[in-house]
Amino acid sequence: MNTIKTKTFDIIVVGAGHAGCEAALASARLGNNTLCLSISLDGVAIMACNPSVGGTSKGHLVREIDALGGQMGINIDKTSIQMKMLNLSKGPAVHSLRAQADKKDYHEEMKSTLEKTDNLLLKQDEAVSLIVEDGEIKGVKTSIGFTYYSKAVVLCTGVYLQGKIIIGEYTKSQGPSGLAGANELTNSLIENGIEVARFKTGTPARVDLRTLDLSQMEIQEGQDDIYNFSFLDIENNRKVSPCYLTWTNEKTHDIIRNNLHRSPLYCGDIEGTGPRYCPSIEDKVVRFADKERHQVFIEPESQSTNEMYVQGMSTSLPIDVQIAMLRTIKGMENVEIMRAGYAIEYDCINPTQLDSSLMFKNIKGLFAAGQINGSSGYEEAAAQGLMAGINASQYINNKEPLVLSRSDAYIGVLIDDLVTKGTNEPYRMMTSRAEHRLLLRQDNADLRLTKTGYEIGLAGKERYDLMLRKQREVAEIIETLDKAKLPPKDLTALFEDCNETLPAHAISLKDTLKRVNITLDMLSEHSLFDSSNYMKDSLFQAQIQIKYEGYIGRQALQVHKQKRMESFLIDNIDFLSLKGLRKEAAQKLNEIKPKNIGQASRISGVSPADIGVLLIYLEKERQLK
């Protein structure tokens, strides 16, 4: 095939899913001439699976993306049709915002954003091979005959690499939602020494709203409180649509059990490893055989379509079985399927081949982000895309990469887990993965990360000034409450209303607020504190910092210890020749090439004894120098 040399770009982003969009926008907004290639422009920011953003731990990622100057939070705020704050009955560390999206609006809004961004060219074309010279990326070649040169490339290929759709006995080589797959790029990765794996994910059927009896289901409304993912708090005229809850039953389960021999998952037709934390309905019935029923949420795909997403019923069973099992569910007795549920297999890489900037260790200038790195989920992909876009820009401009630690952000936990530990199944972010989650709350993502985004050049001045105002107000609120010391007689009415024991001596309003049943709103209602001059976010933040002061302090000490471990830097050690290290540990360390002792200690197969050997070696080296 004849190729055409085009002009050189600073950065090329391959893919325009959730990772690709964030990578391309970050690159362009940082002043780099950026090309974003999408196998189909109809697939830009497509929600191929669940039409939602956020949720437990994922909401944290979206808030962090926004604080750094990314786009996902702004985009979902503009296009959501329902918002809920999850886990409000629990502590603030696990509060997580979740939005139901209008998936068509989400796609169109993000595509429009890319098209209007300076320095960014969006094109429909398929990258089929990498141009690598002397261990450095030089560009890509495409299926229609173009050769594009660049200083850096970011791979955000999602589930398109040799994608294979599976519905029972039916298979087809393609990407999600009927889009074309990318069948050639994998070979180029392998030719360039990149280790490739095979993963699987799945999605449920989409059904016709007109064939559902919603009166037989429980309506699930959003919350009336106005929530936003973006700290910019952009005004929007949010359209609202409810979801509905119903349940599977024994008839449903019997149909599934009787057809397991036709399930690609159980008869060996699926080769890829699937997500542990998002099982198919076949998996649920087999693994949780004691459960009499499973939740099924009926969620609108968009306000401009009758397609409804059947949350909780991901499947790759044959279409006749899908119809039969859905018609056993209350309110779905006459259901018609518009799009069948399916599994999709795809190629991804072993993420331990990347360093903490998401650049390949053996190919300079080549970055990877999103599901190609073995993760699952829109939010995990967008977070990696943002960081890869930032670091590709840092790389070509000879600047130090932006690497967030595990104590800085959920994004730091996500990337460190992938590049240090790797993953043998699609990786999903969870609050339990973050050891410092009380410090990494979604409500303080702006206080943690906006300064970093501003210094990099991605977060704008409006966002930075808003964060500084919040910072000042929180400090002022805490100081005011700490100075206001009142005798018991002035607190009697408040303590009685809140069913709290009245103190024997004078107490500050700060210590008063530490009581379980007392809130800042109650202090205001009893005219003990004037909250009228402060932003809502500032009041909420001050209350959390006061109520959880002891716990926050203890976690801050843990962070200090961890950072001390990360201060022991490792540079150019031949671990295989280091005496005292176990063979497994030496091999793992040589493969991962950790940057510091902290990262080395998190590598699977490296024991505390091995870390002790490394510390002794580093101390000897320090003394010699």
Residue 56's identity, in one-letter code, is T
Structure tokens at 117: 């961004």
Which pLDDT score is estimated for 331?
98
What pTM was computed for the model?
Answer: 0.94
Q: Which long-range contacts (CB under 8 A, 24 or more apart) does 583-588 make?
A: 585/610
Task: Judge contact between 455 and 402, C-beta under 8 A.
Answer: no
What's the mean pLDDT in 484-510? 95
What's the mean pLDDT in 291-303? 96
What's the mean pLDDT in 128-153? 96
Q: Pick the residue with more confidence: 619 or 489?
A: 489
Task: Judge contact between 114 and 120, C-beta under 8 A.
Answer: yes
* pLDDT tens for each residue of 194-250: 999 999 999 999 999 999 999 999 999 988 777 899 999 776 677 789 999 999 999
All domains in the chain, ordered by first residue: 7-158+184-200+346-456 (3.50.50.60), 206-342 (2.40.30.260), 461-554 (1.10.10.1800), 567-624 (1.10.150.570)
* pLDDT tens for each residue of 9-67: 999 999 999 999 999 999 999 999 999 999 999 999 999 999 999 999 999 999 999 99
The 3-class SS string of 499-516 reads: CCCCCCCCEEHHHHHCCC
What's the mean pLDDT in 447-475? 97
Rounded CA separation 373/502 (Å): 56
Task: Judge contact between 350 and 169, C-beta under 8 A.
Answer: no
Reported as a pLDDT band with limits 50, 70 and 90, residue 360 is very high
Structure tokens at 250: 């024994």
Rounded CA separation 310/202 (Å): 12
Rounded CA separation 543/514 (Å): 9
Which pLDDT score is estimated for 321?
97
